[in-house]
Amino acid sequence: MKQGCLLLADSHTNMLGSVRGLLKPFFEAILMVADEKSLLEAAKKVRPDLIIVDLSMPVSREINVARRLGKAFPGMKFVILSIHDEPVAAEECLEAGAAGFVLKRAAETDLIPAVAAVMRGGIYVSTL
């Protein structure tokens, strides 16, 4: 059964397309944005069931996008995609409110289990 709405945010259009293709069978609607302003506007307007966002997306008011989302939308489910494989990066994102942390290099194998876990109310972290 398909879930509701997924919001993807990454400044790299190739990554957006790849993630969309991977998750298309699992969601009724998938929105894609490439910058912080669009991410925040879409999250506020659409209230997606899940956000998947690149940790390296430039943000204007916070150190990272996880903190920005956690403050702006408490309780909203989001998964961070990252090239950073340091445990401290995952810890900081989870502390900020993320429900998942997936390494970009492992997205093909980890993203579907991460989405499933987070949508059930769990937490998922790629092997670091």
> For residue range 81-114, what is the model confidence (pLDDT) as tens digits?
999 999 999 999 999 999 999 999 999 999 999 9
Half-sphere exposure of 55 (CA within 13 A, CB side): 23
Type of residue at 49: D
| pTM of the model as a whole | 0.94
pLDDT class for 63, splitting at 50, 70, 90?
Answer: low
- Map residue 61 onto helix, strand or coil: coil
Task: Tell me which fold the domain 3-125 belongs to.
Answer: Rossmann fold (3.40.50)
